[in-house]
Amino acid sequence: MENIENFEAVVIGAGHAGCEAALALARKGHKTLLLSLNLDAVAFLACNPSIGGTAKGQLVCEIDALGGEMALNTDKTLIQLRMLNRGKGPAVQSLRAQADKIDYHNQMKKTLEQCENLFLRQGEAVSIVEKDDGNIVVETAVGKKYLAKVVVFATGVYLKSRIIIGSYTKNSGPNGFSNAEKLSDSLKNLGIKLLRFKTGTPARINGRSVDYSKLEIQQGEQNIQNFSFLTKNKPCNKAVCYLTYTNTHTHDIIKNNLDKAPVFSGLIKGVGPRYCPSIETKIVRFADKERHQLFLEPESLSTNEIYIQGFSTSMPVDVQEKMIHSVAGLEKAEIMRDSYAIEYDCIEPTQLLPTLQLKNHKGLFFAGQINGTSGYEEAAAQGIVAGINAALYLEGKEELVLKRSDGYIGVLIDDIVTKGTNEPYRMMTSRAEYRLFLRSDNADLRLTEIGRKVGLVSDERWQVFLEKKKKLDEIFSLLSKKFKPEEIREFFEENGESVPKESVSIKTMLKRSNIDAFKINDRFATFKDFDYEIINEMNIMVKYEGYLKQQEEEIEKFKKNEKILIPQDFDYKKYHGLRLEAAEKLEKIKPLNIGQASRISGVSPADIAVLSVLVKKFVKEKNG
């Protein structure tokens, strides 16, 4: 008899998507194999040594609220934490951490190794075979076979990946890791449509060779929320980052060598990310700009390697050296790792359901960059959803579909499975219609109950959540307290506010532009019994009360269309009321509801009006 090892689930790829998917499955009690090309690449920060950023920080907090690991691992290993867009409103503020690249990998690998029901194995998956009994066989390059009910593909940028530096190319994964040469062909044999995308990473330099006196220092913040709602200790900043700029000399070097740039010469075939382009693309696209920001970020506390954020390129190495040495502070920089571009295979994501299960193949789930997205955070967000739904599929339960009003994760998944993407998709605050409601500080209030319902939120996390809700009730009860004009006169004048003639409540005071809960607490110790997170959340909820109410009303309207379900056996081409283009688009995507249908490119409001009538008629006839 053929020697096949049995699991309930196999997760292929141990990057950020694979780690979250495997942990979700195992923590829900399912025997899970996590298969990695190289165990040294588990949760590897192949590009920038950071977690979070604009919109990405919200994703990390949402992963945490659902019961995921990325936020906890970031808090354990961070060396600097900041809140981006401090000068703007809470709708666009996002946490960003510099993580210790080496420690991040070690801590996540340790978490995986200690997780019950989870088994790690190094090996290259080369083929997927669906059996008649519903099981799936995963075979590795060395002939090892695994049998499972579900398989989660989280292969990142490793499928037939190719490194490109100038005219040099090599079939390789990131950072010199081996790639996966055969799995793409197996996916094609299953009828899965593939795309070819491209990304890149900057050079790393030796920190001792940098002239920091010419750079602007970027400090971290201390009094700030953590990524995880479970982390008790305040963030501890252990390092600083630095800011410098390109200049006209840098730009001239690039312009004079554009014929050697693979992105323009035709050597690179894959489509690159619009919102994180190479420096040569920036110079061409923004020809009027005299300089571009470059951030120098430490890779780890145990190495001198410095990452040059904003300086990604695939230029030849001699040109790279000239480019780097033209920048203030980097005149004598010693390059330790060359910058490179990387091409890879990924799937057309409209082949997926919003559960991240493949439409035409039961038990096959996809998460991360294989779905055409970019970024660690986008990958992990998909990973936890794919893991939850793979587990629910095994349990015969209704799978989880996060709505756009639930969180950035819902926006991300809805965008890629409904609209698709012709370039690496990156999450941005502008993509979220309800971004004032979808903040980092309230991610737990939005999603922890959902995580508890699907069985992933632990008792510890649940108790922390209940305690937070209790604290919020307590702090809101204090807002009715009133102060007399003479008690607050000096305070109001100091903050440039006109002094009220009558007694005012704390809630009324918070409505003033120049007064917030922290200033009130500093002067009157009103909220001395509460942590920063509780004070901050209350402050936002009061100050933006009117806007939040307006968004909640918009969300209720949005949910009405999401509740009108479309049967999956509805034949769009059968009905003459729909335009041919709309029918073809709807048939391809097979939306779950009218709301999703309305977001498909090429489907007009008039089409939706007709579709709503037809669906109601179809359901009525079907039910007799």
Q: What is the pLDDT of residues 332-390, one digit of tens each?
A: 999 999 999 999 999 999 999 999 999 999 999 999 999 999 999 999 999 999 999 99
Q: What is the pLDDT of residues 337-350, one digit of tens each?
A: 999 999 999 999 99
| In the predicted structure, residue 329 carries a pLDDT above the cut 70 | yes
* Residue-level pLDDT at 38: 97
Percent of the chain clearing pLDDT 90 (strictly above):
91
Instruction: Check residue 564 and report its DSSP letter.
Output: S
The whole-number average pLDDT for the span 467-477 is: 97
Domains in the chain, please, with CATH?
Answer: 4-199+344-453 (3.50.50.60), 204-340 (2.40.30.260), 472-545 (1.10.10), 563-622 (1.10.150.570)
Residue 68, Ramachandran bin (φ over 0: left; ψ between -120 and 50: alpha; else beta): beta
Rounded Cα gap, residues 240 and 237, in angstroms: 8
| In the predicted structure, residue 273 carries a pLDDT above the cut 90 | no
List the end-to-end C-alpha distance of the chain, in Å, as a whole number.
Answer: 51
Which stretches of 544-593 are DSSP H helices? 545-562, 580-589
Q: What is the pLDDT of residues 98-145, one digit of tens each?
A: 999 999 999 999 999 999 999 999 999 999 999 989 899 999 999 999
* Residue-level pLDDT at 240: 95
**Dihedral in degrees, nearest 10, Cα atoms 120, 121, 122, 128:** -120
Q: What is the pLDDT of residues 580-592, one digit of tens each?
A: 899 999 999 999 9
Smallest CA-to-CA distance from 11 within 334, 415, 383, 321 is with 383
Rounded Cα gap, residues 512 and 299, in angstroms: 42
Q: How high does pLDDT run on average in the chain?
A: 95
* Residue-level pLDDT at 165: 97
Q: Which two tokens stand for residue 595?
A: 């709301």
Cα 392 to chain centroid, rounded: 22
The whole-number average pLDDT for the span 462-479 is: 97
* Residue-level pLDDT at 413: 98
**192 with 213: CB under 8 angstroms?**
no
The whole-number average pLDDT for the span 461-473 is: 97
* Residue-level pLDDT at 40: 97
Percent of the chain clearing pLDDT 70 (strictly above):
100
The overall pTM is greater than 0.75: yes
User: What is the band of 501 on the pLDDT scale with cuts at 50, 70, 90?
Assistant: very high
Helix (H, G, I), strand (E, B) or coil at 279: helix
User: What is the band of 575 on the pLDDT scale with cuts at 50, 70, 90?
Assistant: confident
| In the predicted structure, residue 576 carries a pLDDT above the cut 80 | no
The whole-number average pLDDT for the span 282-288 is: 91
Q: What is the pLDDT of residues 136-175, one digit of tens each?
A: 999 999 999 999 999 999 999 999 999 999 999 999 999 9
* Residue-level pLDDT at 95: 96
* Residue-level pLDDT at 2: 67
* Residue-level pLDDT at 1: 40
Q: How many CB atoms lie within 10 A of CB 420?
A: 19
